[in-house]
Amino acid sequence: MLEQEVTSLKRKLIEYAALVEKMIDKSIKGLLNKDKNLFFEVRDKDEPRANDFEIELEDLCTVIIAKYQPAAKDLRTIMRVSQMNNDLERLADLAVNIVESGLILVEKPPLKPLIDIPHMARIASKMVKDSIDSFTNEDPILAKDVCKRDQTIDDLKDQVMRELITYMMSDVSSIERAFQLIRIANSLERIGDLATNICEDVIYIVEGKTIKHGKAE
Amino acid sequence: MLEQEVTSLKRKLIEYAALVEKMIDKSIKGLLNKDKNLFFEVRDKDEPRANDFEIELEDLCTVIIAKYQPAAKDLRTIMRVSQMNNDLERLADLAVNIVESGLILVEKPPLKPLIDIPHMARIASKMVKDSIDSFTNEDPILAKDVCKRDQTIDDLKDQVMRELITYMMSDVSSIERAFQLIRIANSLERIGDLATNICEDVIYIVEGKTIKHGKAE
């Protein structure tokens, strides 16, 4: 039955999302604790699994549509699940980006001011968690709340950038490390964007309204 | 008829792609010629149009599937077109990122070494052009050629990064400008990635083979 297939598709997406959420958390934890093992886990064990998930889910979406030829409403849900699948892959890539910067940073003496990066990381990670919860529980109120947090993380990133640039200027030997921190701040900001994308899809699936690009239609 | 609808869907995607290609070219040209008008065009005129295109195409994909309930092969094509649509939106965003950095740079005295950025920009822009041509002409040979170029642009980016970091270290007053150039180099690298994604989709549509994540299946 179509309904069962859509339910199992959603379950698979939630499983994938749980993996990606863990990847992000591990990449951040690895950074805060200078734990190379967590970095290797994300890069060498989780990332290939994430890629397999994405391919499997893409295939599943197509198979369900071909088999059940769902009506517009279900079809739109499946198409959004396919978009979310794509966003999860991008989130996994961002976790790997953080890991790559982390692996460079871990070899160097610590740069005192991680500044607001741990704070950004906490917000980003919570946004991802809540975006997935909002999908699991079909909770548009939580989804809308996540969308609102995106501005906070954008503002934090701008502040982190300004501070790191000032820091680079005052201490030339910090440039390379500061640069990796900037890369991490960028990744965290994009993680927030993607969590927002997922929430927009959840709102669409539950309420049938498109709020992409900040415009309702 | 389904065939006609798919043809018109493809035509619309090509139209969208042409807009995005122009956005990227304008953002680069604006950077090389310090032409603020080009930046404003991209940000204020082209970007909203790009967003409208994306929403329209997403809708069109769903409507065609719902109306014609195509068999697996056509369906997979339409699902890939939907992915390409998503990639085009991300390309448009990257053009806007370049514009944002460009607008900051244009207000400051020029930093002598644009280094290999114009070279990277030429390759990235050609990759986008060829990815779209490979779709328009259903040309998997061209598509595969584009995929190969991705390594060149990745290598160039690493080199640009190294040179800019060295430059920042030797001249503290260059940091903020060098930083914007790094942001641009990052955007160009991601433009190359997305052109590669599009080409992988073209290869899939023409040859029926998935080569995502570097694995054939």
* ipTM of the complex, rounded to two decimals: 0.73
Give the residues of chain B that fall short of pLDDT 50. 214-217
Q: At what angle do helices A72-105 and A47-68 cross, to 10 degrees?
A: 170
Instruction: Give the per-residue pLDDT at A175.
Output: 83
pLDDT tens, per residue, chain A with 217 residues: 888 999 999 999 999 999 999 999 999 999 989 999 999 999 999 999 999 999 999 999 989 998 888 887 788 889 889 999 999 999 999 999 999 999 999 988 877 666 788 899 999 999 999 999 999 999 999 999 999 999 999 999 988 888 888 888 788 888 888 888 988 998 999 999 999 999 999 998 888 766 655 443 3
Dihedral sign, Cα of residue B200, residue A66, residue A81, residue A25: negative
Nearest by Cα to A64 from A26, A27, A11 = A11
Q: Does B50 touch chain A (CB under 8 A)?
A: no
Q: At what angle do helices A47-68 and A2-33 cross, to 10 degrees?
A: 160
* DSSP, res A155: H
Distance in angstroms (rounded) separating the CA atoms of residues A205 and B160: 43
Looking at the complex, report in whole angstroms how far the Cα of residue B60 sits from the nearest Cα belonging to chain A. 11
Amino acid at B17: A
Distance in angstroms (rounded) separating the CA atoms of residues A180 and A102: 8
Which segments of chain B does DSSP mark as H helices, in order? 2-33, 36-40, 47-68, 72-105, 117-136, 140-170, 175-207
Closest chain B residue to the Cα of A70, Cα to Cα: B66
Q: Which fold has domain A2-214?
A: Methane Monooxygenase Hydroxylase; Chain G, domain 1 (1.20.58)
User: Which chain B residues in 113-172 lie under 8 Å from chain A, judged by CB atoms?
Assistant: 165, 168-169, 172
Residue range B116-159, pLDDT digits in tens: 888 999 999 999 999 999 999 999 999 999 999 999 999 999 88
Q: Does B199 touch chain A (CB under 8 A)?
A: no
Helix (H, G, I), strand (E, B) or coil at A124: helix
Average pLDDT, chain B: 89
Chain B hits for A66, CB-CB cut-off 8 Å, are 70-72, 75
Chain B hits for A172, CB-CB cut-off 8 Å, are 168-169, 172
Q: Does B2 touch chain A (CB under 8 A)?
A: no
Distance in angstroms (rounded) separating the CA atoms of residues A93 and A189: 13
Distance in angstroms (rounded) separating the CA atoms of residues A10 and A81: 8
